[in-house]
Amino acid sequence: MNNFEFKNPTKIIFGKDSIEKLSKEIPENAKVLLLYGGGSIKNNGIYKQVKTALENVTVIEFGGIPANPEYAVLMEALEVIKTENITYLLAVGGGSVIDGTKFLSAAALYEGHSPWNILTDNIRTEKGLPFGTVLTLPATGSEMNSGAVITRAETKEKLGMGGPGLFPEFSILDPQVITSIPERQLANGLTDAFTHVLEQYMTYPIGALLQDRFAESILQTLIEVAPRVLKDPTDYEAASNFMWSCTMALNGLIQKGVPTDWAVHAMGHELTALFGIDHARTLAVIAPSHYKYHFEAKKEKLAQYGERVWNITEGSTDDKAYAAIEKTEAFFHELGINTKLSEYTKDYEGTAETISQRFTERGWLGLGEHKNLTPDKVEKIVKMAY
Amino acid sequence: MNNFEFKNPTKIIFGKDSIEKLSKEIPENAKVLLLYGGGSIKNNGIYKQVKTALENVTVIEFGGIPANPEYAVLMEALEVIKTENITYLLAVGGGSVIDGTKFLSAAALYEGHSPWNILTDNIRTEKGLPFGTVLTLPATGSEMNSGAVITRAETKEKLGMGGPGLFPEFSILDPQVITSIPERQLANGLTDAFTHVLEQYMTYPIGALLQDRFAESILQTLIEVAPRVLKDPTDYEAASNFMWSCTMALNGLIQKGVPTDWAVHAMGHELTALFGIDHARTLAVIAPSHYKYHFEAKKEKLAQYGERVWNITEGSTDDKAYAAIEKTEAFFHELGINTKLSEYTKDYEGTAETISQRFTERGWLGLGEHKNLTPDKVEKIVKMAY
């Protein structure tokens, strides 16, 4: 096990009808900017619940934050924060709205030349404008971590940011919200959380026995509840386990003391930036090829995952490892998620070279747990995913 | 799954040679009271490491906090805190020193008549004197939670306390400390952590699928590393998983959203108060009888535990459940832990009646996950444990 530090101060308020507890979490004299996305919260009742809970504080609204939170839109929100002297941010939405809010939390107190530099210069935010979240879509885990990914359409870029100042002060998780989520987004959420765990687990054995079992626990739970969530989003037992699994998948716990990969995300982000493919689906496209390409380096963990999560008991380590990749791909298919780039776009030719070139330009020469994912390997993996 | 709230702000600093990081965690102008136990830290090198890391702050020392932290001793430390205007507490020890420090953190700012009332009146501490810990004995999980248990020899009482103000600000966990721990205490630590998980798991199914799997993960890990820890405490892989398992067993995570029991602890505490039996050993004495007595109410979880943790695949639910209790008792025996009260004292006659009477006097009529553990049941369970 590697040395690690772990601190996660976010307060989780989880359960049925928990949105009404919002009023106790925001300081009485706060001036709140309520941030949301495309407006679905106005149709599913969440907006009304939030507004009712906030009736004793001053609230200004900023809607329209798109999936893959767009820098240009966020800069408009930043203007509102400054003009209106906002003191507290409240994200009501999924990962995109929460990630956008984290960017705003950082940018509101950033003193540099341009807030875009927070992303390009990897500036860690030690202190941001305080914020909380009401989660409307289980998937990214952003509600209990301090990271965010921001997109800039102008340059077709998608970059990460973070820092200890960017944990939500609280996050409200009411599993009942999933009853109004379209099946496509539920499948995305399941895939996203599943892949988050894989990124922190599918590396090489390092004797972190407990972390391995926790990671496997989340994968097992997601596999168990996935068909139930898709079949009947009103199944509260399935919904609550889905929601809590998504949060635990990326709140920092399972990555402590172990090597992590994150190369699937790095390549997947490019597919979103280039083609607008849903984030989770890009992960399902890249992951199987990535694991096949790095089979030798990852086969011990692949086999352990096959044994413990998929109950694959027959065959050699290689057999189990390979079968585990096939099981993973089949799981994505059962969720209705395609795993080949050509199923999403006809314009896939040249994508591998483009992404490889972008990695070269950014100087990304050493991603992955062995820090050896060079652009030529990226090119091969993306091609395998066509 | 039940509704829940979860917040755990303790910063964990985990790994080899992590004690040297202590200097960065304590405010520069702090006046520190360094609290420790019987003085073993002076022989195993930990005291020296701590003092070196603290050379730039003012430190006063208070040693001699006994196992089952004694109220009378703690009152002497409280006097030092007040006389010396201490601003920061540092516990260097196991659960007893850390629990004692939590009591002091609360008592230092308590404005009531007598600090003993914090325990007798169940006063929750919202804000305590800030403190950190350097863990020298993995077992209780006190390093990452906000609870404590204090003993008063004068009245043979052992009572709990807690509150959100009693999380350590940081805890330093260097698994290398276990190399100097006597085998008896290592066995206690393994038993303590194992039983902590059982108290939060061995109830009835409530559809908290992920919490169940996390609990099982800790049990599986403890079973896996226990023989290695006892055979060779320098086995770092085993030590680090043991240490992290103990912390995760009682940092709040696995109890969220599920019913919890804690009746084994309530009865076990009395055995410590009456006979001075090591805390962990009292749990091993009570648990098997408790599970046998409540077999019908707990058999579904017992069987699930048997299947997933002990790989018991044959037989009915009843068969698996019973076999799981036997496996648990055998596990304690393999650690060198006796599971009958008569193996600890010849004066066990009348103990059941005494403990039952104490429960009656305290008005404890409804412990356990069904809040139905009446004193007459306590009497029967303790008798079964003779």
Q: What is the pLDDT of residues B260-307, one digit of tens each?
A: 999 999 999 899 989 999 999 999 999 999 999 999 999 999 999 999
Q: Which residues of B touch A223 (CB under 8 A)?
A: none
Contact state of A221 with B244 under an 8 Å Cβ cutoff: no
Q: What does the pLDDT average to over B155-178?
A: 94
Give chain A's largest Cα–Cα span. 65
Q: Two tokens at A378?
A: 């990226």
Q: Is B227 on the interface with A (CB under 8 A)?
A: no
Q: Quote the mean pLDDT of chain B.
A: 96
**β-bridge pairing A4-14 and B4-14:** antiparallel
Distances (CA, A) of A362 to A151, A159, A325, A355: 16, 11, 30, 11
Distances (CA, A) of B346 to B128, B285, B350: 42, 15, 11
pLDDT band at B156 (very low <50, low <70, confident <90, very high): confident
Q: Which residues of B touch A215 (CB under 8 A)?
A: none
Contact state of B237 with A1 under an 8 Å Cβ cutoff: yes
Nearest Cα to A307, choosing from A329, A287, A327? A327
Between helix A183-201 and helix A263-275 the angle, nearest 10°, is 150
Task: Check residue A374 and give its pLDDT.
Answer: 94
Evaluate if residue B192 carries a pLDDT over 90. Answer: yes
Q: What does the pLDDT average to over A217-228?
A: 98
Contact state of A2 with B8 under an 8 Å Cβ cutoff: no
Q: Which residues of A touch B240 (CB under 8 A)?
A: 1, 207-208, 257
Q: Where are the beta strands (DSSP E) in B225-358?
A: none
Digit-coded pLDDT (tens) for B319-364: 999 999 999 999 999 999 999 999 999 999 999 999 999 999 988 8
Q: Give me the interface pTM, i.e. the ipTM.
A: 0.96
Nearest by CB to B210, from A4, A248, A256: name it: A248
The number of residues making up chain A comes to 386
Digit-coded pLDDT (tens) for A248-293: 999 999 999 999 999 999 999 899 989 999 999 999 999 999 999 9
Residue of A nearest to B235 (CA): A207
Q: Two tokens at A336?
A: 């209705």
- What is chain B's alpha carbon radius of gyration, rounded to the nearest angstrom? 20
What are the backbone angles phi and psi of residue B167, rounded to the nearest 5°?
Answer: -75, 135
d(CA B87, CA B132): 12
Q: Which residues of A touch B15 (CB under 8 A)?
A: 1-4, 257
Contact state of B16 with A3 under an 8 Å Cβ cutoff: yes
Residue whose structure tokens are 């889905």: A242
Evaluate if residue B67 carries a pLDDT over 90. Answer: no
Nearest by CB to A214, from B209, B214, B225: name it: B214
Residue of A nearest to B238 (CA): A207
Digit-coded pLDDT (tens) for A99-118: 999 999 999 999 998 999 99
Task: Check residue A67 and give its pLDDT.
Answer: 87
Q: Is the dihedral of CA B30, B20, B103, B83 positive or negative?
A: negative
Q: Two tokens at B240?
A: 């680090």
Q: What does the pLDDT average to over B151-166?
A: 90
Distance from the Cα of B144 to chain A's closest Cα (Å) equals 10
Residue whose structure tokens are 């420090």: B101
Q: Which residues of B touch A210 (CB under 8 A)?
A: 217-218, 221, 241, 244-245, 248
What are the backbone angles phi and psi of residue A322, rounded to the nearest 5°?
Answer: -65, -40
Q: What does the pLDDT average to over A337-355?
A: 97
Distances (CA, A) of A98 to A36, A134, A150, A243: 9, 9, 11, 15
Q: Is A23 on the interface with B (CB under 8 A)?
A: no
Q: Which residues of B touch A6 (CB under 8 A)?
A: 11-12, 14
d(CA A147, CA A102): 8
Evaluate if residue B157 carries a pLDDT over 90. Answer: no
Evaluate if residue B244 carries a pLDDT over 90. Answer: yes
Distance from the Cα of A115 to chain B's closest Cα (Å) equals 29
Distance from the Cα of B168 to chain A's closest Cα (Å) equals 12
Nearest by CB to A18, from B3, B8, B213: name it: B3
Contact state of B1 with A15 under an 8 Å Cβ cutoff: yes
Task: Check residue A370 and give its pLDDT.
Answer: 94
Architecture label for domain B11-176? 3-Layer(aba) Sandwich (3.40)
The proportion of chain A whose per-residue pLDDT surpasses 90, expressed as a percent, equals 94
Q: Is A13 on the interface with B (CB under 8 A)?
A: yes
Nearest by CB to A221, from B209, B237, B240: name it: B209
What are the backbone angles phi and psi of residue B27, rounded to the nearest 5°?
Answer: -55, 140
Q: Is B365 on the interface with A (CB under 8 A)?
A: no
Task: Check residue A39 and give its pLDDT.
Answer: 85
Contact state of A209 with B218 under an 8 Å Cβ cutoff: no
Nearest Cα to B225, choosing from A209, A38, A349? A209
Residue of B nearest to A240 (CA): B1
pLDDT band at A144 (very low <50, low <70, confident <90, very high): very high
Contact state of A1 with B15 under an 8 Å Cβ cutoff: yes
d(CA B327, CA B56): 51
d(CA A314, CA A317): 9
Task: Check residue B274 and give its pLDDT.
Answer: 92
Q: Is B12 on the interface with A (CB under 8 A)?
A: yes
pLDDT band at B84 (very low <50, low <70, confident <90, very high): very high
Distance from the Cα of A230 to chain B's closest Cα (Å) equals 17
Task: Check residue A273 and give its pLDDT.
Answer: 87
| CA A303 to chain centroid | 25
Q: Which residues of B touch A226 (CB under 8 A)?
A: none
Contact state of A5 with B11 under an 8 Å Cβ cutoff: yes
Evaluate if residue A298 carries a pLDDT over 90. Answer: yes
Q: What does the pLDDT average to over A320-327?
A: 98
CB distance B154 to B147 below 8 Å? no
Evaluate if residue A13 carries a pLDDT over 90. Answer: yes
Q: What does the pLDDT average to over A348-355?
A: 97
pLDDT band at A363 (very low <50, low <70, confident <90, very high): confident
Evaluate if residue A153 carries a pLDDT over 90. Answer: no
Question: Which residues lie closer than 8 Å to A110 by C-beta, 6 or more apart?
Answer: A118, A123, A125
Task: Check residue B364 and give its pLDDT.
Answer: 83
Q: Quote the mean pLDDT of chain A.
A: 96
| CA A136 to chain centroid | 14
Digit-coded pLDDT (tens) for B91-121: 999 999 999 999 999 999 999 989 999 999 9
Question: Which residues lie closer than 8 Å to B247 by C-beta, 6 or more apart?
Answer: B12, B138, B141, B143, B144, B171, B173
Q: Which of A3, A219, A225, A235 to mutate to test the interface with B (most CBs of B within 10 A)?
A: A3
Task: Check residue B3 and give its pLDDT.
Answer: 98
Q: What does the pLDDT average to over A74-92?
A: 98
Contact state of B3 with A16 under an 8 Å Cβ cutoff: yes
Contact state of B240 with A13 under an 8 Å Cβ cutoff: no
Task: Check residue A186 and give its pLDDT.
Answer: 97
CB distance B137 to B233 below 8 Å? no
Digit-coded pLDDT (tens) for B12-66: 999 999 999 999 999 989 999 999 999 899 998 999 999 999 999 999 999 999 9
Fold of B183-384: Dehydroquinate synthase-like, alpha domain (1.20.1090)
Q: Is A150 on the interface with B (CB under 8 A)?
A: no
Q: Two tokens at A133?
A: 């979240």
Q: Is A214 on the interface with B (CB under 8 A)?
A: yes
Nearest by CB to A213, from B14, B221, B257: name it: B221
pLDDT band at A159 (very low <50, low <70, confident <90, very high): confident
Q: What does the pLDDT average to over B126-147?
A: 97
Contact state of B210 with A9 under an 8 Å Cβ cutoff: no
Residue of B nearest to A247 (CA): B210
Evaluate if residue A208 carries a pLDDT over 90. Answer: yes
What are the backbone angles phi and psi of residue A158, rounded to the nearest 5°?
Answer: -140, 110
d(CA A95, CA A151): 13
pLDDT band at A164 (very low <50, low <70, confident <90, very high): very high
Nearest by CB to B225, from A15, A209, A240: name it: A209
Task: Check residue A181 and give its pLDDT.
Answer: 94
Contact state of B7 with A7 under an 8 Å Cβ cutoff: no
Evaluate if residue A68 carries a pLDDT over 90. Answer: no
Q: Which of A135, A190, A210 to mutate to test the interface with B (most CBs of B within 10 A)?
A: A210
Domain spans in chain A, listed from the N-terminal domain onward: 11-176, 182-384
Reported pTM: 0.97
Give chain B's largest Cα–Cα span. 65
d(CA A222, CA B335): 35
Distance from the Cα of A253 to chain B's closest Cα (Å) equals 10
Architecture label for domain A182-384? Up-down Bundle (1.20)
Evaluate if residue A366 carries a pLDDT over 90. Answer: no
Evaluate if residue B179 carries a pLDDT over 90. Answer: yes
